[in-house]
């Protein structure tokens, strides 16, 4: 599933450049994640990079958008044009 940024976000700008899929963007009030581009970092890293860097720990999994690992792999391949090598 994709991740979601909660309203605890302090707009520190740290996560946006860390996303390998360019899924994070400045929304109207806080940063937001484009669920169509977030792969939980599958295909790029072992752990979600945004979660690793967020100083206030406000990027949980979005339970409303469940996706299997296989679905995330397909998403990664569509987004990047690369073959998944897991």
Site string for ligand SF4, 29-48 (x = CB under 6 A): --x-x----xxxx------x
Window of 49-57, 62-70, 77-85 that interacts with ligand SF4 by CB under 6 A: 49-57
Is there a contact between 84 and 77 (Cβ–Cβ < 8 Å)?
yes
CB of 61 to ligand SF4, least distance (A): 9
Count the neighbouring beta carbons within 10 Å of the beta carbon of residue 73.
17
Cβ-count burial of 61 within 10 angstroms (0-12 exposed, 13-18 middle, 19+ buried)? middle
59: contact with ligand SF4 by CB under 6 A: yes
């Amino acid at each position: 599933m994709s991740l979601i940024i909660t309203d605890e976000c302090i707009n520190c700008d740290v996560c946006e450049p860390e996303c390998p899929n360019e899924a994070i963007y400045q929304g109207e009030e806080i940063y937001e994640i484009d669920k169509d581009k977030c792969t939980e970092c599958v295909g790029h890293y072992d752990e979600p990079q945004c979660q690793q860097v967020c100083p206030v720990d406000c990027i949980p999994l979005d339970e409303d958008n469940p996706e299997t690992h296989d679905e995330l792999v397909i998403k990664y391949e569509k987004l990047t044009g690369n073959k998944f090598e897991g």
